[in-house]
Structure 1
Amino acid sequence: MTETAKTVIIEEHGGPEALKLVDREVGEPGEGEIRIRHAACGLNFIDCYQRSGLYPMELPHALGMEASGTIEAVGPGVTHLAVGDRAAYAAVPPGAYAEARVMPAAQVCKLPDAISFEEGAAMMLKGLTVQYLFHRTTPLKAGDTVLFHAAAGGVGLIACQWAKSEGIRLIGTAGSEEKCQLALEHGADACINYATEDWVARVRELTDGKGVDVVMDSVGKETFEGSLDCLKPLGMMISFGNASGAVEAFNLGLLAQKGSLKVTRPTLFAHIALHEACQDMAAMLFDKVASGAVKIRIDQRFPLAEVAAAHRALEARQTTGQTILTLD
């Protein structure tokens, strides 16, 4: 009898109503693959981009980029994982919204006993994103100043704590006083309510007119130009998301006019493409969490069957911290 697992798929791009829960066959792992039984799944904006068609996919396709669980079977050539291991991952191809799946093993990481399955599901994509933002994109050192948009979101709360643990000053932005307070409680040096303040002017005020060394911006279209105005000369703009829409084309000469600025548009999956790099990045993330320097705050839990409601909450910016899908 072939085993099946409840899996969330889309058959066409669209809104949350396009998400369907179906039974799918789960086979045996082949060369370089594992089969994992999930305990929890993470929820990320990239899932919404793939569902909507902003990031087109060949359809039908399963969704979800991160999860945690127990290794059930190991294919030939896999040496870093064994049956029974606790594991977590952020990886392609999508398919994490499922009770179980077969997938490539290279980006699946052994999860330390000190970290729960729920934390593991909530932290991998966002935590590895923070790791590459602070350690693999541009040199950062204690005393530098970073502007971080959406500081009370899933990536943001990890970034606030990460910055504090390394002596980096983080100025956050968020859309309400409550969210600003949350960012401050997690280590932000200051947080600007963009709903009530001119955040560009406030950043300049907080930096004595000098600007920040680096902007980390996952909001995209709404904040891009203002973010450039917050940078000091030779500063780095890291645009790593599109929550408000894709950044529009702009005149490259603006970078010269505003102080020989630098701009990059990285993705996590380019950084973790090599097995060794992924495992090293995960080891640093696990150390941060196990030591208590970074705490994974899970504020929303939805059963797998209620994934559409989870997407609606995320897109309406009604969430803080991490959101997971539970598999009871």
Structure 2
Amino acid sequence: MSSATTDPHATPAEALPPSERLGHPGLRDHHGHHVPWLSYLSLAASTSVIGSYVGLSKLLVLVFPVFLLAFLRFGMAAVFMLPWLRRGPAEAPLSGRTRFLLFLESFFGNFLFSICLLFGMKHSSAVVAGVIMAGIPATVALMSWLFLRERIAPRTLAGIAMAVGGIALVALSKHGDSAGAQTSGWGALLLVGAMCCEASYVVIGKRLTADLPPRRISALINLWGLVLVTPLGLWQAMDFDFGAVAVKDWGLLLFYAIAASTITVWLWMKGLQHVSAAKAGVFMVFLPVSTALVGLVFLGERMNAIQLVAYALALGGVMLATWPARAPR
């Protein structure tokens, strides 16, 4: 893994690792510090889109078996992203290490994460799942410090703590009555595994952005996802009645494939190019926030005072972690 530093008081070129010095988009604050607002927007948009189509994925699971759904999703996205696989004229050939990292990125982020999450949810209550998954930003920070050697500022750590607390409070406020129900040690362990897989996805993705452009990373890890899930997908396809699937469900699947495997991954990798992994992990708070907004605006759901405080705390964590630092006096 490559080294990355985040010194808020250094000059823009010195404060960024090599992968971030080349044409990094953004603005400067009134002290002259570089602020990668476009990268922040990409990260927020990626996780917001994912959170907004949570309901869509639940609908598709009712139509397609889980592994067949993943197989079709990766397959459709692979066709869409065929042009993205081509190596650019200025790119070096893939090294063995980069190929291995691409495999790990897909194995942890696409394959193992889905298995741990789906089977963990079967043996856990919603509140336990929500609280455990709230630990993703903190796990990302720990892994980025261990493997990327990122220096994490105290204010960023405070922002991460606020984000984790806000997401955990959301889970507790929604499912407080079932906090201890229907949860086994095996289920909780699987969810911890899912949390670590997602954190690994962020950290490995940060390392990959130093060597490859976001579009090619997206296409290559999707291709690995297709390879990994193909045996299980074909196994479930053998007994599946494809003729019973409505046209609208095929349309939803196509939209899901393009959104989940193409747009959101590209946005995430685009943002990771110019933001430290630890800060990027804080943007995971937009998953529950966007899900709540969809429910509030389109499904007529209501939000109580505790939930409002929880979402405000989570968003406050993002603001604290990413707001430009004051110039030293």
**Bin of the TM-score, shorter chain as denominator length:** under 0.3
Higher relative contact order (CA 8 A, sep 6+): 2
Q: TM-score scaled by structure 2?
A: 0.25
Larger proportion of helix: 2
Q: TM-score scaled by structure 1?
A: 0.25
